[in-house]
Amino acid sequence: MSLAIHYDSTFDGFLSAVFEIYRQHLDVSCFVAERTYEAEREAATDLFAQPFHVETSEDSANRLRRAITNAASKDVLNLLETCFRSEDANIEMNILAYLRKLFAGLDPNYGRNPSSLEMIPLITIARSVRREMDNMYGMVRFNKAPDGMYIAEIEPKYDILEMIVGHFRCRYPNGTWAIIDVKRGFGVYYENYRTHFVTVPDPSYISAHAPPDEFTRMWKSYYDTMAIKERLNPRLLRRCLPVRYWKHLPERSLSNYSAKNIGNVVPPQLPSEVAKSNASASIRLK
Amino acid sequence: MDLRDKLNILGDAAKYDVSCSSSGSKRNSPKGGMGCGHSSGICHTWSADGRCISLLKVLFSNACKYDCAYCVNRRSNDIPRATFTPKELINLTLEFYRRNYIEGLFLSSAVIGSPDYTMELLIKVAKELRLVHHFGGYIHLKAIPGASSRLLFEAGLYADRSSVNIEIPSDKQLQYLAPEKNFASIYRPMNFLAERKLEYKTDKSKYSPKFLPAGQSTQMIVGASGETDFQILTLSAGFYKQQQMKRVYFSGYVPINADKRLPVITTKPPLLREHRLYQADWLMRFYKFEYNEILDEKNPFLDPDLDPKVMWALRHPECFPVDLQSADYEMILRVPGIGVRSAQLIVSGRRYSKIRFEHLKKMGVVLKRAKYFIYNSDVPRELHKLYPEMIRPLLIAGKPKNDQLDLFDAMPAALPAPAKAQPSANALPIANN
């Protein structure tokens, strides 16, 4: 009888589940993470599999961690954790397939081989998780609240909030700020050199607290002037800056906002446009 | 004029500078301040033309006393002019940085008064950011040609990166287009900064102050004057070697001014040529190619149809096919379709198992191109019997045609045929598809 393993969607929970699979010789057909939000791609549930719930146990998770470190290395363990954050539909089964091969012990060098057929897809997934993490360093946008706190909302594809907190702690050590993952309903709050992870049931309430200000509008108009008209390339833009991030970037989402709120301000005369129109005019005169 | 208008004018005047990177400097947040340098650099957003914006790139002033033909800010142009005050600019930088819009400041300026006076203003901004506001973010300062060594040295103490733009890749053309400039005036600050940086580098103590931790960069305009790609690559290879430049940027010429010394104002920016030059630049920086391997006197232009790596491979059939199981890392890097990451994966994985086609596919190797150049048991034998002249059309045929169909192409040749944009001297004989 094949089982659908239910666990609490944490990495520790997943490791405990794998531990139980080995201990009880379970026949697994799929994993079901019990999340409070909807993941990007939900795994296809096996209708005929029997649900089997595994309690998270730190003890067994740590035992499995030690075993992976011994059989492969610490880097591999980190890589698996990074992959796990992708919340991909089949990521649990992919990791399990890798671990099965690793612990089977048929090939003593398996843990060190980065080009095995089970490892390459994991490397690719980890790479895209890390890429989003790197992108997020740049794409978090803070708004200033009246009380001096800086608040940002993000909606990353992968669960990477915990991975980027260190960067912002190093960047704004003296400030008070919060980053909220709107999709997953939790956030990090930093004050007095301490970080706290908090659940945020209603993010819209918080963003109403910190509306865009004058600097946001200046940033938006600066952003618009930076594009060189002769080189416009919407495809390249969408490749570098995927549309799914635009919602939380004022420079892409604020376009109508500024027009509505400031009224009809004459757009500034830009040097490049003036120069170009003068040049064309002088040619026409000739 | 309010701050917003100033920012727009001076941002617009600075946008033709293509340098965008914020990499190469690792700084911790100073005590009591904010900001850190991330060694691989961070892109914060991309503008509508697909170029990344990571620094607040502005001019301090655009009221220039020079008259360079290619520049928006030349004194003979009748355009709106503006100048920041240091306080305005510092406040803007800090507020943008707090909201995580930018990685730091890229400060350049038109020459106002004298080069020394301009340089002093730039240094004043950087110094105040670092010492008064304890700002640890990235600062890129332009070195103004003609500024005194004392000022250049001071700039190096506060900035992460400095740059002097050579703009036109030959001395004669530069003096023709920019009467107030010549190669000597541009090389002098470059060499001075490179030498000082070397001195500081020998002193490895962690307490010694930093001097231009992210090095120098420069940029050349492509397509404004008649240089060949070979000249451009030779020059940039020299910069990498002698001045220890971190980057040399290419900027496809965007016509702004009507000037009889320049291409007509309706010319489109040579985007494809710029792209090919960057590809060649990548080959020099990451793929261990020498500039004279990519091009030579006889073939002075890059091929618009194929990338320079494929071109090199087709010119050197004696080096292929490469056996992935035993070849050197350097040789695997030279196979078209294999990048740095896949080459590393191949080299570290082949110790444990045979590299097969399905491995390569999963690694992200572009087999469409690589299959002609590798020796592997999964590759059909017939592919190795092909001559370079036969492979070339196969590689080109796989590409979708980018350019829009011309209305007049289909008409009989009653009209004079338009002149070809770029003669490709090194094109091998191919059947016209």
Give the start-to-end residue ranges of the domains of chain A: 3-131, 136-262
- Provide, as residue numbers in chain B, all residues whose Cβ is less than 8 Å from the Cβ of A285: none
Q: pLDDT, tens digit, for every residue of B327-339?
A: 999 999 999 999 9
Q: Which of B4, B38, B79 sits opposite A271 (nearest CB)?
A: B79
Chain A residue at shortest CA distance from B351: A113
Residue B247 has pLDDT above 90, yes or no: yes
- Nearest-by-Cβ selection for A276 from B7, B80, B256: B256
pLDDT by residue (tens digit) across A87-139?
Answer: 988 899 999 999 999 999 888 888 888 888 899 999 999 999 999 999 999 99
Query: What are the φ/ψ torsions at residue B200 (nearest 5 degrees)?
Result: -70, -30
The pLDDT assigned to B291 comes to 93
Contacts of B62 in chain A (CB under 8 A): 271
Same domain, residue pair B282 and B335: no
B277 with B343, same domain? no
Average pLDDT on B21-27 reads 89
Q: Is residue B417 part of a domain?
A: no
Q: Which domain holds residue B350?
A: 308-397
Average pLDDT over residues B260-273: 89
Burial class (CB within 10 angstroms; exposed 0-12, middle 13-18, buried 19+) of B265: middle
SS (H, E, C) chain A: CCEEEEECCCHHHHHHHHHHHHHHCCCEEEEEECCCCCCCCCCCCCCCCEEEECCCCHHHHHHHHHHHHHHCCHHHHHHHHHHHCCCCCCHHHHHHHHHHHHHHCCCCCHHHCCCCCCHHHHHHHHHHHHHHHHHHHHHCCEEECCCCCEEEEECCCCCCHHHHHHHHHHHCCCCCEEEEECCCCEEEEEECCEEEEEECCCHHHHHHHCCCCHHHHHHHHHHHHHCCHHHCCHHHHHHHCCHHHHHHCHHHHCHHHHHHHHCCCCCCCCHHHHHHHHHHHHHHHC
B49 and B84: one domain? yes
- Quick one: average pLDDT of A63-88? 94
Q: Which of B6, B12, B278 to mutate to test the interface with A (most CBs of A within 10 A)?
A: B12
Lowest mean pLDDT among B23-32, B190-199, B403-412: B403-412
Name the pLDDT band for A42 (thresholds 50, 70, 90). low
Q: Mean pLDDT across the stretch B283-289?
A: 94
Q: Both B199 and B83 in a single domain? A: yes
Given a cut of 80, whether residue B417 has pLDDT beyond it is no
Please name the residue of chain A whose CA is at the shortest distance from the CA of residue B74: A275
What pTM value is reported for the model? 0.88
Across the interface, which of B12, B73, B78 has its CB nearest the CB of A270? B12
* B78–A216 CB contact, under 8 Å: no
Average pLDDT over residues B257-274: 89
CA gap A174, A72 in Å, rounded: 40
When CB atoms are compared, the residue of A138, A142, A234 closest to B98 is A142
- Residue B386 placed within a domain: yes
B128 lies in the same domain as B222: yes
Percent of chain B with pLDDT over 70: 92
* pLDDT of the residue at B48: 92
Which of the four pLDDT bands, split at 50, 70 and 90, describes residue B385?
A: confident
Between chains, do A271 and B99 touch, taking CB under 8 Å as contact? no
| Tens digits of residue pLDDT in A18-30 | 999 999 999 998 8
At residue A268, the pLDDT reads 65
**Has residue B166 been placed in a domain?**
yes
State how far residue A61 is from chain B, nearest Cα, in angstroms: 29
More confident residue, A152 or A285: A152
Beta strands A177-181 and A186-191, pairing class = antiparallel
Q: Which pLDDT belongs to residue A219?
A: 94
Q: Does B108 share its domain with B30?
A: yes
**Total domain count, chain B:** 2
Mean predicted lDDT score pLDDT of chain B: 88
Do B322 and B285 share a structural domain?
A: no
Q: What is the pLDDT of residues A167-191, one digit of tens each?
A: 999 999 999 999 999 988 899 999 9
Of A232, A251, A270, the CB nearest to B45: A251
Residues of B within 8 A of A143 (CB-CB) are: 99
pLDDT of residue A99: 95
The answer to which of B84-88, B92-96, B201-205, B215-219 has the lowest mean pLDDT is B201-205
Cβ within 8 Å, pair B49-A143: no
Say whether A116 and B57 touch across the interface (CB within 8 A).
no
Residue (of B248, B268, B257) closest to B68 by Cα position: B257
Whether residues B69 and B120 fall in one domain: yes
Interchain contact, A218 vs B355, CB within 8 Å: no
Q: Are strands A150-154 and A142-144 parallel, antiparallel or unpaired?
A: antiparallel
Mean pLDDT, residues A18-47 taken together: 82
For range A221-239, the mean pLDDT: 92
Mean pLDDT is lowest, of A56-65, B45-54, B198-207, for B198-207
**Structure tokens, A7:** 């666990």
Residue pair B352/A112 in contact by the 8 Å Cβ criterion: yes
Whether pLDDT at B206 is above 80: no
User: For the segment B338-372, what is each residue's pLDDT rounded down to a tens digit?
Assistant: 999 999 999 998 988 889 888 898 888 999 999 99
Across chain A, mean pLDDT equals: 88
Residue A23: per-residue pLDDT: 94
Please check whether residues B80 and B51 belong to one and the same domain.
yes
**Residues B317 and B283 both lie in one domain:** no
- Residue B96: which of A109, A113, A219 has the nearest Cβ? A219
Residues B282 and B317 in one domain: no
Going by C-alpha positions, the residue among B66, B67, B57 that lies closest to residue B18 is B57
Are residues B50 and A240, on separate chains, in Cβ contact within 8 Å?
yes
In chain A, % of residues over pLDDT 90:
61
Residue B18 lies in a domain: yes
The per-residue pLDDT for B421 is 44
As a whole number, mean pLDDT of residues A44-64 equals 87
DSSP B47-68: -TTS-EE-SEEEESB---S---
- Which residues does chain B have within 8 Å of residue A239's beta carbon, measured at their own beta carbons? 50
Convert the pLDDT of each residue in B55-76 to its tens digit: 999 999 999 999 999 999 999 9
Prediction ipTM score? 0.90
Shortest CA distance from B36: residue in chain A:
A171
Which residue of chain B is at minimal alpha-carbon distance from A131? Answer: B42
Q: What local confidence, expressed as pLDDT, does residue A44 receive?
A: 64
Question: Is the same domain home to B251 and B369?
Answer: no
B433 confidence band (pLDDT: 50, 70, 90): very low
Q: What is the mean pLDDT of residues A27-56?
A: 80
Distance from CA of A51 to the nearest CA of B (A): 33
Q: Which residue of B has its CA nearest to A225?
A: B12
The reply to whether B406 falls in a domain is: no
* Residue B408 domain flag: no
> Is residue B227 in a domain?
yes
Q: Which residue has the higher pLDDT, B425 or B132?
A: B132
B403 — pLDDT class (breaks 50, 70, 90): low
Share of chain A above pLDDT 70, in %: 92
